[in-house]
Amino acid sequence: DTEVTQTPKHLVMGMTNKKSLKCEQHMGHRAMYWYKQKAKKPPELMFVYSYEKLSINESVPSRFSPECPNSSLLNLHLHALQPEDSALYLCASRQNQGASIIYGYTFGSGTRLTVV
Amino acid sequence: TQLLEQSPQFLSIQEGENLTVYCNSSSVFSSLQWYRQEPGEGPVLLVTVVTGGEVKKLKRLTFQFGDARKDSSLHITAAQPGDTGLYLCAGLSGNTGKLIFGQGTTLQVKP
């Protein structure tokens, strides 16, 4: 299995809702990432997990709460979002955080989030 | 702070034309990657260039890494509508595992 699977593919939520995004990989990668991407812009790093521990938080608002229950699974819990949080949320993984870049990043297809 | 400047940001061409996308930095990168992203999908890795002066070919795509490892280019020969997408260059920053992206080039190839 060489994929990163993200669910759901599309999500519409109200500003008072609580929802979660899910990301799963079975490649044995020990570094997992959440990115946010606006249309025609590059992905922006949000969080990095290394060996199931939060390694980097890029000053993301607390309405986004990441969780890494095990080495294959990464969640992003959403609460009280704003319309400007509407974006494509991408999950990625790689062998480990300090690995050579030649090992590359594998990205999921993303969750298209719309906040109404 | 390491930055990657990508140009042009938007490119609309006819099928069959050639094009080049540039990725430049004032900093040295140990390696650079190029990704292609289609609408509604995640970025897909095209190539990683590691050695200064390196040239890699992927069918009609040619990737170069500058001798000083501060710049890279992507050249597409005889572009096809299937080449349409967002092209991103990216470099790894230190040992943090942070991937630094250029601003991206949105390519539209018209039939």
Decide if pLDDT at A40 tops 90. Answer: no
CA distance to partner chain B, nearest, from residue A15 (Å): 23
Share of chain A above pLDDT 70, in %: 98
pLDDT at A43: 93
Work out how many CB contacts closer than 8 A connect A with B: 66
pLDDT at B63: 97
CA distance to partner chain A, nearest, from residue B38 (Å): 10
What Å distances lie between residue A114 and A7, A78, B27, CA to CA?
A: 14, 12, 37
Torsion sign, CA atoms A44, A50, A56, A62:
positive
Chain-chain contact of A109 with B41 (C-beta, under 8 angstroms): yes
One digit per residue, pLDDT tens: chain B, 111 residues?
Answer: 778 999 999 999 999 999 999 999 988 888 899 999 998 899 999 999 989 999 999 999 999 999 999 999 999 999 999 999 999 999 987 656 678 899 999 999 999
pLDDT at B95: 58
Query: What is the C-alpha separation between B21 and B6, in angstroms, rounded?
Result: 7
pLDDT at B96: 63
Residue from the list A97, A102, A104 with its beta carbon closest to the beta carbon of B97: A97
CA distance to partner chain A, nearest, from residue B43 (Å): 6
Decide if pLDDT at A77 tops 90. Answer: yes
Report the alpha-carbon angle A94-A34-A89, nearest 5.
125
- B94 at A interface, C-beta within 8 A: no
pLDDT at B30: 82
- What residues of chain B lie within 8 A of the CB of A40, using their CB? 86, 104, 106
